[in-house]
Amino acid sequence: MRRGGQVDREQSPPRLDLGALFDAHAATVYGYAARRVGRDLAEDVTSEVFAAAVRSAATFDPERGTPIAWLMGIATNVLARHWRTEHRHLETLEQVGSDPLTTAKVPAFDGAVIDAVHARAVASVLAEMPAADRDTLTLFAWADLSYDEIAAALDVPVGTVRSRIARARERVRDRLGDKSWEVEGDGHD
């Protein structure tokens, strides 16, 4: 993952090179948002994130976190407003076995080990997971943020991040290990 967004500390307030910031992180923000709410809505979310970043550039403090952590913090707040949409898609995947975000829109991921049963299980657990745990887990697994970056993004201690991720992973693990899912799933969807 590219990490960029130059900060000129000689300026007061600190000035972000927003062009570099965009070049370095737009794809990451977009990709993360796309996995949560789909590609269409991800464009809006990403635009909102960077528009907010532009307006709030003066508030960025490099000592408190990396630019990507700052952006992902904004993205988390923006995505929170789309939870109903996200939840609906997750529920659809869980119940129907077909992901509205991926069906006939993008090619399947080659070489993936995940199958339909897994996907339904993941959707199920993400749909019911507390928002804080979900945000933490997805920033870790999908945005590839470090614990420190997640802590900065969500403005929580690193220890909290660790406990959230551990708890969330356990929930996913338990759900994946629940054989009832394989019975419940039709196995060919």
Partner 1 sequence: MIDELTILREFRAELAVVDAAALERIRATVQGVVELDAVQRAGRGDDDLGEPVYVARPNGHAGSSRPRRHRLLAVAAAVAIVAVAAGALAWNGLRDETGVANSSSAPLIADPAPAGLDLMGPIFGSIESHTVYTPGGDPPLGEMLSLAAMDISSPKRTSREEVVRRTMSAGDFHEVAFSVDDGYLAATGRGMSQDEFIEAVTQATVDRLGRPTLPWSARPAGWSEWINPDAADSTFDERIGVAYFDESRYPTGISWQQWSGSVDDLARTIELELPIVEICGRGAACEAATEGSSATVLGRWPEVDDEPVGESDHLATRMVLTWLEDGRRITISSFGSSLQELYEIARSLRPSTWEEIEELTADPDPTVDTTRDLGTTETTGGSMRSSD
CB 186 to partner 1: min, Å = 19
Between the CA atoms of 142, 168, 113 and 186, what dihedral angle is there, to the nearest 10 degrees? -120
Restricting to residues 15-34, name those near partner 1 by CB under 8 A: 15, 17-20, 22-23, 26-27, 30-32, 34
Work out whether 6 is an interface residue with partner 1 (CB under 8 A). Answer: no
Q: Which is nearer to partner 1, 52 or 158 (CB)?
A: 52
Restricting to residues 60-99, name those near partner 1 by CB under 8 A: 60-61, 64, 70, 72-78, 81-82, 84-85, 88, 99
- How far is the C-alpha of 29 from the C-alpha of 52, rounded, in Å? 13
Tokens in use for 113? 């080990």
CB 143 to partner 1: min, Å = 9
Q: Which is nearer to partner 1, 123 or 161 (CB)?
A: 123
Rule CB under 8 A: choose which of 5, 7, 50, 94 binds partner 1. Answer: 50
Three-class HEC string of 93-128: HHHHCCCCCCCCCCCCCCCCCCCHHHHHHHHHHHHH
Restricting to residues 137-176, name those near partner 1 by CB under 8 A: 137, 141-142, 153, 155, 169, 172-173, 176
For partner 1, what does the binding mask look like between residues 103 and 142, x meaning CB under 8 A? ---xxxx--xxx---xx--xx-------------x---xx
- How far is the C-alpha of 94 from the C-alpha of 63, rounded, in Å? 41
- How far is the C-alpha of 98 from the C-alpha of 152, rounded, in Å? 35
Spatial neighbors of 62 by CB under 8 A, at least 6 apart, are: 7, 9, 14
Q: Which is nearer to partner 1, 13 or 159 (CB)?
A: 13
Task: Enumerate the β-bridge partners of residue 16.
Answer: 7
Q: Which is nearer to partner 1, 55 or 188 (CB)?
A: 55
Burial of 157 (0-12, 13-18, 19+ CB in 10 A): exposed
